Structure 1
């Protein structure tokens, strides 16, 4: 599977298609990540609050895929504000890694608390324990607060995203700030039975889920579908063999509730 990546600065590149692990626990998490790596995913997304970092790390180690070929993200829960270093230490120990590729603030901490946490994230990045740092579930004002206080922008903002939530102004706002949009819950936010998606899927000989994933990738959005089913894991990875036309992309954009 050869799919594009987005640069996070320097040599660090983040694959646009990743594998999400939310709600996957224990052996199910381990097996799903093994399946994902076997299917060709090279980007894995976990978080402290998911409780599966150890299984993700064990799956990476057992897969035989070289560490430098796998992009790994984890996240700090907002209630761990003030305990950033020990939380990252625990994540790295569980994952069995010296560094993660991307560390995110999972949600904004209580009002006024983001800047202090962000400063600690920048320290972790500068120490090489996280190759890049970013946020999740932040709005544009939240991003501006961090930049105003530190002069440093988050590399990524991971947000709930999909065709129904598409907002061209929000995308433009992120790109003006140099922040990559990463979408989660691409299927939960989408009606996969929508006639627009089913018609486009039929035209390309794929299922609507892959149309949604392809839409993300062609827009330059990072997307992290999750599944515990081997067949779906493999099928969702197969989005490199077709291209949506400009007209089809526009039709999918038009599914937005803002339209």
Structure 2
């Protein structure tokens, strides 16, 4: 069964970090090449759930104030109309599905994919987050889980801590991260190791410094899609709110970038 990933995708300049890009490239080498990729990014919130372009269209440069070279990145991955059809069928009884045929991949999708699959030869489909409610996103992931049996790599793309106004001004990985970021990161890592799904779903009340680590939760929210998609039992049913070992991932990338936790995970 194809694994599920949660990536801390970073801002576009993170692609200049040689360590991070090397880690992503090495990660993809260790994975069996997927038949298609489904991405849920922190940078696309739209309800009802909406499917992005199923043909190759220009990327969405959804950031401002960076040097021109960041707006010249290309990633002409094939569209994934067959995957879009499968998503519609899996969701049609529970989720209305809309279409955005001109909506290209945003930087939460293409920045890591450029490093992991630079040949851009795998069909990619991005879908929106229809909600920021952790339980609703977990349930969405459960609905999408059968795609793993068909060689689809499901990726939730966010950032394990994300507060741009409070991020460190130190360069890259130099210097100690702020306590709010390291405290949340350590709590998240331990809670994931314990498979404590209840605590994760209620992280806004259970995690230390949650309101500082995530003033808005859109960068943590894709994790819940990944958690749901990692389920191997009861696909599509109401999620069990108890510790389950199936939700325990492996940390592939950790550390900090300007104080923000880069923790990235593989389920399965």
TM-score by length of 2: 0.31
Higher normalized helix content (fraction of residues): 1
Q: TM-score, normalised by structure 1?
A: 0.32
Q: Which has the higher contact order (CA 8 A, sep 6+)?
A: 2
